[in-house]
Structure 1
Amino acid sequence: MDETDPDFRPDPHSPLDPRPRPAPRRSAIDWEDVREGLAQRRAILEETFAGRGPWADALLDRRTEHLAEPPPALDGEDTGIPMLVARGAATLYGLELRHLGHIVPMPRLARVPGAPPAMLGVIAVGGRVMRLFDLDRLCGGPAALPAGDGGAAGGAAEPGYALVLRTGTGRPAALRLHAVERVASVAPQRTAPAEAGPLVKAIAADRMAILDMAALFDVVKS
């Protein structure tokens, strides 16, 4: 309809309505409510970073559940105990890795007069002087290697390897081995017979002697 028509009446809802419209009313902001909300959020964050509150409790619960889960099997095999597999004169030994430090080729050996047969003497590894024991003799067998004169002036170091034990605050000690074969996850198959000696607690595959590390430490730390 033409606006010049005397009967023309603008539609108040039409965008073509030329009459001014009232500005939309803005709701009043409750600044006190805003400040309270910010204070609550700040308190929650402070509790979280301090290790408190529901979020931190849920995180600790998830971590506890994760630690309680059994570790996955290695290489698809049955879960066993991580061990170092080493050889003596005629025996294959399994030693738990968590009790071992490091392995070095046999250093020069200084004999100790009057020492027990299983103690070959003292050696120096990484600046630490420690007693060296023959593992075969500790387990009641013959010496793994012939006793040379590595401690004499100009003498050559003996063959084999020195395995440093983790004795903690106890006296440092090492074991002499004939050969070091591998690291493996070993599952003991049966309890060792009495004739195996007090330091062997179980027998695994390949007639491997699994050592009782607690009993071994009682001997070398005394």
Structure 2
Amino acid sequence: MTLIELRKRLARETGLSADNELQAGVLDDLVNDAAQQIYTQTDLPRALREEAFSVDTTDTVPRITLPERVGEIRGVRDWADRIKLHDIRPKYNSLPWPNDVLYTFRILYETPIARSIDNALGLYMVPLAGDPTSVEVSIVGSTADAQELHATFAGDGTGSAVGVLWTSIASITKDAITPVDVLLLEGDANGAEMARLTSYGDRSKYIEIE
């Protein structure tokens, strides 16, 4: 629901006018206050879930890249830590999540790739089955010779992006819905996954936390 719709519904309940500039500001403040209260709640039914990820503990820089589907991150903990039963289900009682088992973290930025580029690397696109000519994957980034370069993959994995050695990547997008996810691998067909564009999405996006 958009802010305009929320403003109109709240105006009907409060008797204020959404068309009046001053009263619209009051309505916006009420919406923002409510949003802040909802976000800071301990738990929301069907909204808070846990997911386990494997982390390389030998990495000296404690940074983790998470896929966009994770959504808002409310807490980070070791998966093997024991949590009391009454803390596993906080919505059924008045006790909050235990603070002593949660890590302090911060969201650094959004990135189109799942792994960092140390020097320069090429990308390999897994060819799509069916009609691969109906989609184009566009990559914007930089190389050793170009501050900004635009290159593309066709659905069959060919295109101007083949052989490009990227030093950084700013965005990866596609122009159509695909029957399967589009996978970009590091180097060749045996490389690690660098980016995944979901079948229904139009871009690759990851969240990096520290």
- After TM superposition, is the score higher than 0.5? no
- Identify, as 1 or 2, the structure richer in helix: 1
Q: TM-score, normalised by structure 1?
A: 0.18
- Identify, as 1 or 2, the structure richer in strand: 1
